[in-house]
Structures are given as C-alpha cells and as structure tokens.
Chain A
Amino acid sequence: QSALTQPASVSGSPGQSITISCAGTSSDVGGYDYVSWYQHHPGKVPKLMIYDVSKRPSGVSNRFSGSKSGNTASLTISGLQAEDEADYYCNSYTSSTTLVFGGGTKLTVL
C-alpha cells in the first residue's frame, strides 16, 4: 500500500486559517469515512485530533475540523496559534482492512 500524499510543509500567521490536504485513492480515503488526523510535537506522543473524517475527540479544540471530498481529505485549523506548530499526519482505513498514514506535514506558525 502506498502512503497517503500530504504537502511537506504549510505555514500561516497567528489568527489565520490553514488547510492540510491528504490525497489517497478510492481504496482508502475515497472509499471509507475512516480518515483520522494526528498532531505530533517532536519528542511527544502523537495526539488524535480528528477521526471518522470530521469527528473531534473530547478535549480537542473546535478550531480543528476535518472534511473529505472524493479521494482527498482535509484538516483545517482556524485561529492559528503558536502551539499549533507541529507535524500533522492523516491516516485512513483501506480496502485491505489495513491502515495507512500520510507522509506528514510540518506546520510552521510564522
């Protein structure tokens, strides 16, 4: 299985909104509503931010939202804050009953 495709980096200024894309195929992202997003600060444990495309776990800020169109999922962070600077990974269930991660996106808050 191939890794999902994410941009290597995105950036934004405090208060702005950014969107990170996650491109897959009809066998993963496009075929199931089981896309999730993780925030990973280096040296820390990855944190689940979005699951099932657009659901937020308890305790996750509503500044984080997820969506999907066709074979591409997106994570949007609104009201960007310095603490949002981290690596972000998408993940999807696949038709092979496996999971696959994206390559990761480094978010820089300017």
Chain B
Amino acid sequence: QVQLQESGPGLVKPSQTLSLTCAVSGASISSGAYYWSWIRQHPGKGLEWIGYIHYSGNTYYNPSLKSRVAISVDTSKNQFSLKVSSVTAADTAVYYCANSAVVAPDIWGQGTMVTVSS
C-alpha cells in the first residue's frame, strides 16, 4: 500500500522559496511504473495541478507556474520535493503530493497548508 506524507514549513515569507518534501512508503520512487505529482488547492478554490516527475528525471509543469517551480527526486531517501520560488500571497494553499500508477494521480498525501505572509 503506497503512502505519501508531505512535510515542510507552514509559513513562508513573500519573495522567498517554498520548499516541500513528500516521503514515500510502500513503493520505490525508482520504480518506472509511477509518476510523482504535486497539486495544490487555494483556500476556497479548486484543485490546481503543479507538475510531476518520473524517477528518470523527466519533469512536466503547469505552464502558468513553470518559471517558478522545480520538482526533484531523491532516490536515496525515497522522496520527492517541490520548490516554488518568489512566492506571493497567491501561493498560499494546501499542497498535496500524489502518485500515479495510471495517468491520473491516484494515491494522495494528507496535504500540508502553506501560508505566505510576512
């Protein structure tokens, strides 16, 4: 049973870089069978796909965020990470990590709330 757990600061200052990690258990992140995604939900709004990565290093990003987002994999720790640079209040959201055995993200983490504020 694949399980995912997000971790990272709950508060980030404007213009700084938001960094989150997703620890994976029950599956190897090096498995070519999966893509590893980040998704967010702004308060009171809908879901927004941020991007995903294959263990091979291939990454795919939401075009609206591409210039500020980076997703990476750490196979030694069986985890993957998200960095969002130059954050503003508009990046305040619940951030979810998820994995995809099919195209659609199917197993999700519990989510972590990140607030951008000085």
Give A contacts to B, CB under 8 Å: 1, 3, 34, 36, 38, 40, 45-46, 48, 51-52, 57, 87, 89, 91, 93, 96-104
Inter-subunit contact B103/A46 (CB<8 Å): no
Q: Which chain B positions have C-beta within 8 A of A96?
A: 63
Q: Could you name 18 residue pairs across A and B whose Cβ atoms are closer than 8 Å?
A: A34-B103, A36-B102, A40-B47, A45-B109, A45-B111, A46-B47, A48-B104, A48-B105, A51-B103, A51-B106, A91-B49, A93-B103, A99-B49, A99-B52, A99-B103, A99-B105, A101-B39, A101-B47
Say whether B36 faces chain A, with CB atoms less than 8 Å apart.
no
Which A residues touch B96, using CB under 8 A?
45-46
Q: How many Cβ-Cβ contacts under 8 Å join chain A to chain B?
A: 62
Q: How far is the CB of B50 from chain A (nearest CB, A)?
A: 10
Digitize B32-47: 1 where CB-to-A-CB distance is under 8 Å, 0 elsewhere: 0000010100000011
In the complex, what's the smallest C-beta–C-beta distance from A44 to chain B, in angstroms?
A: 9
Given contacts A45-B111, A97-B60, contact A36 B48 (CB under 8 A): no
Chain B residues within 8 Å of A104, by CB? 46-47
